[in-house]
């Protein structure tokens, strides 16, 4: 099995980057919801899952979509909740309560992956696409070899934020991380057909899926539908 590169960030470096992050953000006038991506040149890389993760809720380290090391400031958990007028009152009340519950948990421990995923989904249900993006981007930094947050970002960038370049990168990263999940190839093919308008790439990604998962009926059916 091919070993993934990893970036070992020492506690001292994390502390140094945290100070740098504070300095940059304070000088620039940006708030803590802004992502600070710091390119770090490191050696002796090992498994990304072994990255030391501080429990102070301030900074996190991990790879970006191109494999370079990044450090990210935790998204602003005091973000204002704006509810669309079309949302029924009961759904509004329940969703706001759940958002507040998740935010309280994440203020205590910003390393809770599932809570970031859920928070992003709830933001998206209120049409807060930027809030969803921040939550899922952060989840991708703290769990760089998962597929869920990258797949979510693919959909968000492709269909809502209208950034097909980042959409494709995230879709492909999700597949790289979980190459045995058929639906990842299917949703990427849908993106190529519906957003990128590129049936050649759609067929190619489905064929790649069938090489990774021979005989999968959903992929065979999807491929047949565009041939």
CATH number at residue 182: 1.25.40.10
**What are the distances in angstroms from CA 26 to CA 30, 31, 32, 34?**
7, 8, 9, 11
Identify the domain containing residue 206 by its residue range. 146-227
Give the pLDDT mean for 113-132: 98
Q: Token pair for residue 123?
A: 């933001």
Q: Over the stretch 67-116, which tens digit does the pLDDT of each residue have?
A: 655 667 899 999 999 999 999 999 999 999 999 999 999 999 999 999 99
The phi and psi torsions of 84 (rounded to 5 degrees) equal -60, 145
Helices (H), the chain: 11-28, 89-108, 113-125, 129-142, 148-155, 164-177, 182-194, 199-212, 217-225
CA distances from 225 to 79, 192, 193, 212 (A): 43, 14, 11, 20
Task: Single out the residue in 74, 107, 132 at which a domain terminates.
Answer: 74
| 115, 143, 171 - which closes a domain | 143
Q: Do 23 and 97 sit in the same domain of this protein?
A: no
In 3-state terms, what secondary structure has residue 63?
strand
Dihedral, CA of residue 95, residue 98, residue 104 and residue 107, to nearest 10? -70
Residue appearing with tokens 């370079």: 68
155 and 205: one domain? Answer: yes
- Same-domain pairing of 226 and 162: yes
**Residue pointed to by tokens 């519906």:** 194
Per the structure, how many domains does the chain have?
3
**Which token pair is 218?**
């959903």
Say how far apart CA 214 and CA 193 lie, in whole Å.
22
Question: 43 and 83 in one domain?
Answer: no
Domain boundary at 45, 74, 103, which? 74
What percent of the chain stands above pLDDT 90?
67
What Rg, from alpha-carbon coordinates, does the chain have? 19
With a pLDDT cut of 70, the percent of the chain lying above it is: 68
Asked if residue 107 and residue 46 are part of one domain, the reply reads: no
* pLDDT of 218 higher than 80: yes
């Amino acid at each position: 099995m091919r070993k993934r590169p990893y970036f070992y960030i020492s506690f001292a470096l994390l502390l140094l980057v945290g100070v740098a992050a504070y300095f940059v953000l304070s000088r620039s006038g940006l708030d803590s919801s802004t992502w600070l991506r710091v390119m770090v040149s490191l050696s002796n890389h090992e498994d990304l899952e072994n990255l030391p993760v501080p429990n102070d809720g301030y900074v996190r380290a991990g790879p970006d979509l191109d494999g370079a090391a990044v450090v990210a400031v935790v998204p602003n958990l005091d973000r204002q909740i704006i509810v669309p007028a079309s949302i029924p009152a009961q759904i509004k009340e329940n969703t706001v309560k759940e958002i507040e519950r998740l935010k309280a948990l994440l203020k205590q421990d910003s390393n809770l992956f599932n809570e970031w995923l859920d928070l992003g989904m709830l933001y998206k249900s209120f049409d807060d696409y930027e809030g969803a993006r921040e939550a899922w981007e952060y989840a991708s930094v703290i769990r760089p070899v998962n597929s869920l947050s990258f797949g979510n970002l693919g959909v968000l960038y492709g269909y809502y934020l209208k950034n097909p370049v980042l959409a494709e990168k995230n879709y492909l990263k999700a597949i790289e991380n979980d190459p045995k999940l058929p639906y990842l190839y299917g949703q990427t093919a849908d993106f190529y057909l519906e957003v990128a308008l590129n049936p050649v790439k759609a067929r190619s990604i489905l064929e790649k899926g069938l090489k990774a998962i021979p005989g999968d009926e959903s992929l065979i059916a999807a491929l047949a539908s565009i041939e």
